[in-house]
Amino acid sequence: MAVAAGYDQRVAELSGRVSQLQQQLRLGRAAQLEQLRARLEALVTRLATVRRTFHSEFRPLQQELASARQRVEATRVGRRADVDGQQKQLQSIDRRLQEAFQEMGAPMSSCPENKSWG
């Protein structure tokens, strides 16, 4: 019977030790999960801060870029209109010169400087 009592006592000791280890494991896991949760919250907070900073710093730059693009496009269109107007003026001058030479009786083809602007 002494062997059975020693056996039962050993089983009880091992059972208690297993229970302790299980409790420590649960506590360890809970602590790890809490640390991970805290890290995740810190990352979420940091991400939100970075997003706010990004928007506050880059939104004005985006608006400035859009404004600059509009100004460049307006300048390009204006210059194109100026060039078109100048070409029309040159064509008009060329036409009037041709008419003037024809009225004078001298064909334009006889002038060595004859150049068409059109």
The answer to whether position 44 is within a domain reads yes
The answer to whether position 38 is within a domain reads yes
The answer to whether position 14 is within a domain reads yes
The answer to whether position 61 is within a domain reads yes
The answer to whether position 68 is within a domain reads yes
Tell me the pLDDT tens digit for each residue of 82-94. Answer: 999 999 999 999 9
User: What's the token pair of residue 98?
Assistant: 């041709």
Domain that holds residue 98: 2-103
pTM above 0.75, yes or no: no
The answer to whether position 24 is within a domain reads yes
The answer to whether position 86 is within a domain reads yes
Q: Is 66 within 8 Å of 73 (Cβ atoms)? A: no
Number of domains comprising the chain: 1
- For every residue of the chain, DSSP letters joined together read -HHHHHHHHHHHHHHHHHHHHHHHHHHHHHHHHHHHHHHHHHHHHHHHHHHHHHHHHHHHHHHHHHHHHHHHHHHHHHHHHHHHHHHHHHHHHHHHHHHHHHHHT--GGG-TT-----
The answer to whether position 108 is within a domain reads no
User: Which has the higher per-residue pLDDT, 92 or 3?
Assistant: 92
pLDDT (0 to 100) of residue 1: 61
